[in-house]
């Protein structure tokens, strides 16, 4: 009969998430996890097979937390701007998780059209919000999304690495200005076709 688990799966994942939130992904070891839980590392492995399994579960929990930010953005009056703002807020509020999810070197380098679906499972939903809000076709929505993601990722990366700080008003103004400029260019191109 296997030993009774001292901690639940949720408790272990929560502890792992908190370690990464405060100390970064590299700090997530079985010893650190045991210490955080006030135990040895051994009880962790009555629930998980190995640390890789713990790490994967923690990454899924981080993605779920990020998805909450996306949903909040999609509920805004202008969903696309809301998502961009929430992306930046995630980088400010959860800098270590942002770095893990969006600033980790990839094994294979995707091109621009492949990176967004790869890193954000809400990609299709965001694209639809762009089409609905700005009344543009799918290819134009993708173009706007790509441009604004590059821009908001830059701001978010500056925030996550504590290179720069922006007020909410500054973020709103910057996103609006860039979005307006790119949207104007897209609409000109559509009118010329």
More confidently predicted of 131 and 117: 131
More confidently predicted of 169 and 2: 169
Q: DSSP code of 76?
A: S
Q: In whole angstroms, what is the distance from residue 193 CA to residue 141 CA?
A: 16
Q: Residue 1: which pLDDT band, with cuts at 50, 70 and 90? A: very low
Question: How do residues 27-64 score in pLDDT, each as one tens digit?
Answer: 999 999 999 999 998 889 999 999 999 999 999 999 99
Question: How do residues 177-187 score in pLDDT, each as one tens digit?
Answer: 999 999 999 98
Q: In whole angstroms, what is the distance from residue 191 CA to residue 177 CA?
A: 21
Q: How far is CA 108 from the centre of its chain?
A: 19
CB distance 12 to 46 below 8 Å: no
Q: In whole angstroms, what is the distance from residue 113 CA to residue 105 CA?
A: 17
Q: Residue 108: which pLDDT band, with cuts at 50, 70 and 90? A: confident
Q: DSSP code of 180?
A: H
pLDDT value for 3: 56
Q: Is-above-0.85 flag for pTM?
A: yes
Q: In whole angstroms, what is the distance from residue 84 CA to residue 87 CA?
A: 5
């Amino acid at each position: 009969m296997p030993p009774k688990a001292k901690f639940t799966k949720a408790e272990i994942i929560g502890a792992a998430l908190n370690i990464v939130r405060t100390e970064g992904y590299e700090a997530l070891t079985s010893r650190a996890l045991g210490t955080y839980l006030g135990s040895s590392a051994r009880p962790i492995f009555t629930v998980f097979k190995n640390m890789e399994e713990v790490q994967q579960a923690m990454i899924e929990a981080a993605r779920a937390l990020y998805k909450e930010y996306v949903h909040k953005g999609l509920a805004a009056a202008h969903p696309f701007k809301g998502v961009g703002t929430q992306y930046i807020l995630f980088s400010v509020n959860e800098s270590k998780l942002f770095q893990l999810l969006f600033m980790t070197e990839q094994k294979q380098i995707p091109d621009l059209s492949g990176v967004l679906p790869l890193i954000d499972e809400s990609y299709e939903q965001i694209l639809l919000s762009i089409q609905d809000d700005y009344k543009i076709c799918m290819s134009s929505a993708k173009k706007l999304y790509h441009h604004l993601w590059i821009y908001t990722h830059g701001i978010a990366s500056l925030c996550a690495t504590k290179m720069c700080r922006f007020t909410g008003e500054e973020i709103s103004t910057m996103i609006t200005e860039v979005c307006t400029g790119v949207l104007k260019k897209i609409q000109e191109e559509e009118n010329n076709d």
